[in-house]
Amino acid sequence: MSNEKDLENGDPKRERISFADGWDPDKDEGEYANLIRYISTYRDRRFSKAPSQASEQDAADASKSKKQPFFKRLLGTGGGQGDLYEVPEEWLDTDIKAGLTSAQVEERRRKTGFNELTTEKENMFIKFIGYFRGPILYVMELAVLLAAGLQDWIDFGVIIGILMLNAIVGWYQEKQAADVVASLKGDIAMKAIVVRDGTEQEIKAREIVPGDILLLEEGMVVAGECRLICDYENPAGFEEYKEMVNDPEAYHSKNHTDSDDDEEKHIGVSIVATDQSAITGESLAVDKYMGDICYYTTGCKRGKGYAVVTESARGSFVGKTASLVQGATDSGHFKAIMDSIGTALLILVVFFILVAWIGGFFHGINIATPMDSSNTLLSYALILLIVGVPVGLPVVTTTTLAVGAAYLAQQKAIVQKLTAIESLAGVDVLCSDKTGTLTANQLTIREPYVAEGEDVNWMMASAALASSHNLKALDPIDKITILTLKRYPKAREILQQGWKTEKYTPFDPVSKRITTICTLKGERWAFCKGAPKAVLSIAECDESTSKHYRDTAADFARRGFRSLGVASKRGDEPWKVIGMLPMFDPPREDTAHTILEAQNLGLSVKMLTGDAIAIAKETCKLLALGTKVYNSTRLISGGVSGTTQYDLVEKADGFAEVFPEHKYQVVEMLQQRGHLTAMTGDGVNDAPSLKKSDCGIAVEGATEAAQAASDIVFLAPGLSTIVDAIKVARQIFQRMKAYVQYRIALCLHLELYLVTSMCILNETIRTDLIVFLALFADLATIAVAYDNAHYEQRPVEWQLPKIWFISVVLGILLALSTWVMRGTFYMPNGGLVQNFGNVQLMLFLQVSLVENWLIFVTRGGETWPSYKLVGAILVVDAISTLFCVFGWLSGSQAEQVDFVDPVDRLTRDNYSTQTSIVTVVVIWGYSIGVTIVIAMVYFLLVKMRWIDNLGRTTRSHADTQMENILGHLSRIALEHETDVHGKSKWVLGSKSTGEEDVD
């Protein structure tokens, strides 16, 4: 058993359980002997410390299947991920005993691709080219052409190097994150049993192709859209199936009479029953007959049969639903923010270039000559383009998101698109499922009610007798009923007395009960369990007993319990009620604490459940979530509309008896009130609300369609995983925000200093040194993606006015610090210069140091910086210092003296290409002092309440007039009428409610 993979790790035939003593449920020791062994040896692996992992062979198979030739990975998507292939009808004529051959499988896979719902794989080459596209990058590419025109080959090469560095790092980091996500998705692959080459084989569900003969069995997931052929025990039915497929009308007329009211033309008896609740919302299993379609990802609840796969996953009903939801793509809020920042910086660059050119004309500077000088108008333009456009902005932010996505994947949260991290960080309302997220999704039976004169052990044994004994695919209610016998050893002894099951009738929606007929030592017994009213209706008991039974059921309902009545019948005696089982899905141990934590993070948690309102309220009480829980009908036909309806949704703690359309409506109303909303879901019919929400979350065990429609897929259960992911998302957001502030301040620093220097002194920092400043800024801060970060205690947002205000203040302070140092060189003793130095390189060093250290200011002081960030900045600082000490790219004295006006004493009388060590130490000390002053100013700014709230939007805002107008319009309907002359007309009328329609 230890080598078998559980359902969530790929084997749909296995429950997520293990058994003591290595017992195998497939081993037949007799029905009731197996049942007793199951009860005594059952262990729930959800509480085991052993990790559940894919086997090494599966990992090897996955890596082998993904391996493609390099040129295919570079230039094409491969894998059949193009247009949907229309399956020819002759492909479905496969023999159920022979199946497909290996050659046929490979040929068909080349045309249809793998049987999986995947997003279109990106072309590697086009993806890489994408890192050279965008407003900011186009400006840098213009700078490359300008450098080439000026024959400034050093700058030309370095700028190209900066562009290539950003592209390679960004592409690699995003690819690495995608690989982590892909490997996790591979670990949850389904398995299927097919007939190939004349034998039954177990394969991965993704390897199925149209025409495969698929075996459906109770407890398995339908691994491919398929048409049902015949019962597994009746292979001769294949001939009848072929007759039906070849001439359906003739076959139907032969097997039906005119009096038949069978509109669906079902043939014979049901072969299997499937659970389609995730697709259609039907809570009951649907019977499937010969020729019926079994939908992809539904669960087989009864029976065993052969079916032929008719479509690949993408062509299935689920796949088409997913593609419709995925069709609407948008650039996202994150890209809009980045574009607005980039556009604003470009406008500033153009403005500063104009100012510099005006100053240049005043100083009589030529447009492009002399060619070896930085003091030309085109050189000014080149310098300002380099310093004013943050080429690393899109790449560093993308890298930060990609690294964060890889970290979230390790926490069992698969990020489907990187911008979802930003959305998750800003979420302020979380609409959560109850079952499996807030609760353990593990029914428990509380203290049962036992009828007067009955024994509790007999009642529990009777309940177990009235249950399915198929241990490989137990219904959750049957499972907990049987396992509860662990607490009742005498009930287990009753089961060991020699019972034999004669007939088992599963639950049906008409009788609302399960019935089993058994014999014990030749005596006939009947047992049933089901809805209390249904059980009471077949029993014969006096009025006082009936009233007490009904009152007990009502009391259980008020306490939030689901009730299950139990009755027995001996021989020809009447049915007798013997008790009632109260069932409850308890909250997870950590849920109450997690909800409190979520509320401290500024999140409003709303519970949405399909359960009855009494159960919902009881769960809310246990979780301290608030008891303002309403029935979902209040949303549609409850007589509430307009602003009142919006207020109801906004203030409610939850909704009960919810259907998917209610989820969509809740999300829409919350968004219209200005809330960023996250929605959890698991079914195909949840896809619209997942897509509509700002951050759609597919919870553990969600269908593929729900996963495809969601932004983030969780592989671990519980609300705590979602709240933990929100914290991580806010940390990632904090890193991006710190970098954006830092980068804007850097652009403004050099633009302000250089333009004023050009206009006042007719001086600039050499172009060669400027490109290295840009390179060093990007090299050092790429490591910000790996920095430690704190998370805010409230939902985050960009607050662009606040970012710009603080960045402008920091930019001005940095420019002033550089001017102060430049001004000291005019002092008689040389100011900061000790012994000798080079003005260009001393300015270069000071600018490099204060700019690199600024990231330590904008990141905040709540956490210590990571060693990666500190190490990257120290390396760049060391290189900048070497430039200054050894005089690299210092330029000639003539270049300084001929253009600078007025010339400082140091340049005129003590020119040197190198700088003394003492001077370098002084500049380091000065830069540290500047950084401390800037840090103090930054601290004061962020502590000011009006600055802290600058640009923060109000999350709850009501447009009362518009909401009421929409509310009234929702009650209006177009009605078609015909007057006495036979002319038709359309008139406005009042829309009837559901209750009126029934009447």
Rounded to whole angstroms, the Cα distance separating 638 from 970 reads 13
Rounded to whole angstroms, the Cα distance separating 737 from 337 reads 11
Rounded to whole angstroms, the Cα distance separating 500 from 498 reads 7
Other CB atoms within a 10 A radius of the CB of residue 863 amount to: 14
Contact present, 755 and 355 (Cβ < 8 Å): yes
Q: Which residues contact 751 (CB under 8 A, 6 or more apart)?
A: 348, 349, 352, 384, 387, 388, 811
Instruction: Tell me the two tokens of residue 383.
Output: 């310098």
Contact present, 87 and 310 (Cβ < 8 Å): yes
What Cα–Cα distance (Å) separates residue 282 from each residue in 225, 286, 300?
19, 8, 14
Peptide linkage before 12 cis (omega within 30 of 0): no
Q: Name the DSSP class of 912.
A: -
Amino acid (1-letter code) at residue 776:
F
User: What three-state secondary structure class fits 505?
Assistant: strand
User: What three-state secondary structure class fits 497?
Assistant: coil
* CB neighbour burial string for 246-283, b if at least 16 within 10 angstroms, e if fewer: eeeeebeeeeeeeeeeeeeeebeebbbbbbbbbbeeee
Contact present, 818 and 973 (Cβ < 8 Å): no
- Residue with tokens 């084989």, as numbered in its chain: 201
DSSP code string of 167-227 = HHHHHHHHHHHHHHHHHHHHTT--EEEEEETTEEEEEEGGG--TT-EEEEETT-B--S-EE
Rounded to whole angstroms, the Cα distance separating 944 from 942 reads 5
Contact present, 781 and 773 (Cβ < 8 Å): no
Instruction: Tell me the two tokens of residue 443.
Output: 């029914």
- Residue with tokens 């932004």, as numbered in its chain: 711
CA 695 to chain centre: 7
Q: Residue 303 belongs to what H/E stretch?
A: strand 299-309
CA 587 to chain centre: 23
Q: How many residues does the chain have?
A: 999
Catalytic residue among 58, 231, 292, 433: 433
Contact present, 495 and 465 (Cβ < 8 Å): yes
CA 769 to chain centre: 44
What Cα–Cα distance (Å) separates residue 496 from each residue in 157, 450, 458?
85, 22, 13
273 phi and psi angles, rounded to 5 deg: -130, 135
374 phi and psi angles, rounded to 5 deg: -90, -5
Q: By C-alpha distance, which of 437, 400, 450 is closest to 567?
A: 450
What Cα–Cα distance (Å) separates residue 46 from each residue in 34, 205, 403, 441, 639?
23, 24, 29, 11, 45
Catalytic status, residue 898 = no
Query: Per 3-state DSSP, what percentage of the chain is helix, strand, and coil (rounded to 5)?
Result: 50, 15, 35
Bridge-partner residues for 500, per DSSP?
Answer: 519
Amino acid (1-letter code) at residue 887:
G
Contact present, 299 and 288 (Cβ < 8 Å): no
Rounded to whole angstroms, the Cα distance separating 739 from 170 reads 15
H helix intervals, 466-507: 476-483, 489-495
What Cα–Cα distance (Å) separates residue 406 from each residue in 179, 349, 695?
9, 36, 18
Catalytic residues: 433
